[in-house]
Amino acid sequence: MAKCKAKILVVDDNNGIRAALKMLLPMTFNQVELIPSPKELISRLADFMPDVVLLDMNFHTDINTGNEGLYWLSEIKKRCPEVEVVLFTAYADISLAVEGMKRGAFDFIVKPWENDKLLDTLKAAYEHRSKQLKASGTSVPSTPVKMMWGNGRAMNLIRKTLDKTAPTDATILITGENGTGKDILAGEIHRMSARSQKPMVCVDAGALTETLFESELFGHVKGAFTDAHMDHTGKFEQANGGTLFLDEIGNIPLHLQAKLLRVLQNRAVTKVGDTRSVPIDIRLICATNKDLESMVRSGEFREDLYYRINTMHIHLPALRERQDEIVPLAEMFAEKYAARYHRDVKGLDDSAKEKLKTHRWNGNIRELQNCIEKAVILSEGNELTGEDIMLNIGQSLHEDISSSGEETLEMAEERAIRAAMNRFSGNLSMVAKSLDISRPTLYAKLKKYNI
């Protein structure tokens, strides 16, 4: 049998593994090189010009990245994006390998490996690279994620509302739990508007630090502050003529809300360090998982700003209230990730569908998407089964708490954050102070735990 023409570069610091692969791989592939350290990787990429790199996930070097495999994967993709990378990992690091595939790896192999599976995976990586090189070379523009409407009464009412409001310039406030798809709905509104050919600029308002708030939104001129080495155009100006989407607007501190309100009232921005006002023409869409009316009553959100952003209000129901959408969404995600990760997954069997329908989905569509992505990556068959669907304990529709009685560090952290949020009525500054963490750190954890 003729050898595969692929050039394989192996990077692994284990002498025994390199010795085994030195005997195995040359029987199948024309050219194979093995190196013990990723420090030689960049030079070997240039000299050997491999088709596929088999990359170990962990090395004993002084690279301080949190995980060296992910670091060297990014270096390969940055310098040689056409080279396919197969990750070599221990069973305990599968989650890291999954993250690696999200970052561009072709596949992963778990140690100890099966020879046939290893060879088949390397061949598949080479064949995929060959097909890519034979293509025209022009990249297909990514299409925006479309809304999955379903047939429920609530979503039908929202769709009818959008048919009337999206073509206008009315300011829209979208509310709903984390993960319900508020950002996707905002994109759908922009797509349906008269501004669809103009830019849509998205801002995670809750992640903006107080010191950068004005600079990021309104811009700054050179010399306005220490690190202002050149003029910077803010998000409002970037969105001029199009749509500005302010996500997590409920997390903006009270004293900064006044500055935002002034710009919205005047329809003009003044860059930090400048005296000239620049007129802006935008369609504003805002989103939050907060109860802004309650925040207005408690003095945490300006009433005048609330009415300014709330010309039209659309509330996205939680996924558990949209039962008819769960399986169709899961099938759509399965098709998407099967194509991305080169898996022969055609759909879901009845056990998988039933398991999905009885889960509570506290993380909503985002949690469902992550669940299906992981299932597709780890699945061995051409149909996702109930065993492939790995769900968080204690989130079934009939069971809200774990029966194990054991609490992990993450569970304790989530419980502490939720308790602090209740104690301080969602005041993020007070919550962060009580937990002795920064606001950006708190914001990241709120997203992590879908709070």
Distance CA 190, CA 196 (A): 6
Same domain, 19 and 101: yes
Closest by CA position to 262, among listed 211, 214, 320, 201 = 214
Same domain, 100 and 184: no
To the nearest whole percent, how much of the chain has pLDDT over 70?
A: 89
Quick check: bond before 112 cis, omega within 30?
yes
Same domain, 128 and 168: no
Residue type, 180: T
Structure tokens of 129? 């690279």
Which has more pLDDT, 93 or 7?
7
Q: Is the pLDDT at 138 greater than 50, yes or no?
A: no
Same domain, 50 and 180: no
Q: Give domain status of residue 172, yes or no.
A: yes
Q: Give domain status of residue 236, yes or no.
A: yes
Question: What CATH number is given to the structural domain containing 421?
Answer: 1.10.10
Q: What is the mean pLDDT of residues 364-375?
A: 90
Distance CA 229, CA 318 (A): 45
73-77, 286-290, 402-406: which is most confident: 286-290
| Per-residue pLDDT tens digits for 159-192 | 999 999 999 999 999 999 988 989 999 999 999 9
Same domain, 26 and 168: no
Question: What CATH number is given to the structural domain containing 243?
Answer: 3.40.50.300
pLDDT of residue 400: 44
Q: What is the mean pLDDT of residues 23-50?
A: 87
Same domain, 160 and 306: yes
Reported confidence tier of residue 420, pLDDT bands at 50, 70, 90: confident
Same domain, 52 and 160: no
Q: Helix H segments across 135-250?
A: 153-165, 182-192, 213-218, 235-238
Distance CA 426, CA 53 (A): 48
Residues 6+ apart with CB under 8 A from 382: 344, 345, 346
Structure tokens of 6? 């692929």
**What's the chain's average pLDDT?**
84
Same domain, 299 and 191: yes
| Per-residue pLDDT tens digits for 324-367 | 889 988 998 998 888 888 888 989 999 999 999 999 898 898 89
pLDDT of residue 397: 53
Same domain, 128 and 163: no
| Per-residue pLDDT tens digits for 199-245 | 899 998 877 777 788 888 998 888 888 777 788 888 999 999 999 99
Q: Give domain status of residue 377, yes or no.
A: no
Domain range holding 206? 153-315
Q: Is the pLDDT at 61 greater than 70, yes or no?
A: no
Secondary structure of residue 123 in the 3-state scheme: helix
Q: What is the mean pLDDT of residues 368-396?
A: 84
Same domain, 119 and 177: no
Q: What is the mean pLDDT of residues 26-44?
A: 88
Which CA distances in Å does 205 have to 161, 167, 245, 413, 451? 26, 25, 9, 24, 17
Residues 75 and 44 sit within 8 Å (Cβ to Cβ): no
Secondary structure of residue 140 in the 3-state scheme: coil
Residues 125 and 52 sit within 8 Å (Cβ to Cβ): yes
Same domain, 183 and 311: yes
Reported confidence tier of residue 408, pLDDT bands at 50, 70, 90: low
Distance CA 9, CA 34 (A): 6
Count up the domains in the chain and report the number. 3
Task: Count CB-CB contacts under 10 A for residue 329.
Answer: 20
